[in-house]
Amino acid sequence: MRKLRDLYFVIGLFLTVNCATATENSPFAFKAGDPDVVTIERTYTTSFVKKDPLCKDNRLSHLCDFLVDSYSRRFEREMVIRFNQSIDFDSPDFTSIDRSRSFQHVILFMHLSKNIPVATLYSFFKIDTPKDPDEFSIETFNYDLEKKKSLAFNELFEDSETAAMLCARAVQKKFEKDGSYMLPVVIAATELSPHNFIITKNGLRLFFAAGLLNNEKGIVSECDINIDDLKDAKPLAKFWPQLKSKEKK
């Protein structure tokens, strides 16, 4: 119960924090000397990654180490691309190039379900670049403890194409009133295959980057989809045990 309460606390804190104001109370204000924080210095970037205590679990430690390294490498690669795109190669004055470092703070938060063999990992990102400070996003990762591999969306249903279409319709229904010009793109991507999701007790929860479907730069959008609304896609009882009891009736 404590872990579940902490989960909702961290998610709520992230979704309500004002991204424009960095205070010492921010979840991204890591304390100096915190043994759970890994610092990785690369040529143009510095990454600070705070591990969840569950990363010490033998079943999950290798996954955490992989993600820490992956996030830092990806961030460096993305910043190098941005850096190269900002260079005016027609100008002979290369002394004016801004070589300021970029920083990312990442919080890894893990949750182990008691009813299904799945570990859910949330990665919260705060990225500060010279031109764009305070970029916020969230990524999710579902890990099958039995098969020791990540879970793809198409492994949750007998008919994953139908499931993706149903998810897309749910996203459209929830966000169409907000009038985001990015909604058609998000719907098309969801129809292809939802990727930023978690398995919940009652279905699925999809996450979308802050500002993508709303006008709030610091608030991540989410969409809950009940498993009953996905029944036409034949969801697997391995991930939603309540389906077994419904089949018996």
Q: What pLDDT is attached to residue 90? A: 73
Q: What pLDDT is attached to residue 114? A: 85
Residue with tokens 């190039």: 97
Q: What pLDDT is attached to residue 234? A: 97
d(Cα 162, Cα 230) in Å, to the nearest integer? 8
pLDDT tens sequence across 26-45: 788 888 788 999 999 999 99
Name residues of the chain where pLDDT drops below 50: 1-2, 4-5, 8-9, 12-22
Which residues 6+ apart lie within 8 Å of 111 measured at CB? Answer: 3, 4, 7, 119, 120, 121, 122
- Alpha helices, DSSP H, located in 91-231: 160-175, 183-192
pTM over 0.85: no
- Alpha helices, DSSP H, located in 86-223: 160-175, 183-192
Average pLDDT, rounded, for the chain? 85
* Sequence letter at residue 186: V
Q: What pLDDT is attached to residue 97? A: 65
pLDDT tens sequence across 76-97: 999 988 888 777 777 666 666 6
In Å, how far are 70, 89, 124, 137, 185 from 225, measured between CA atoms? 30, 49, 22, 21, 19
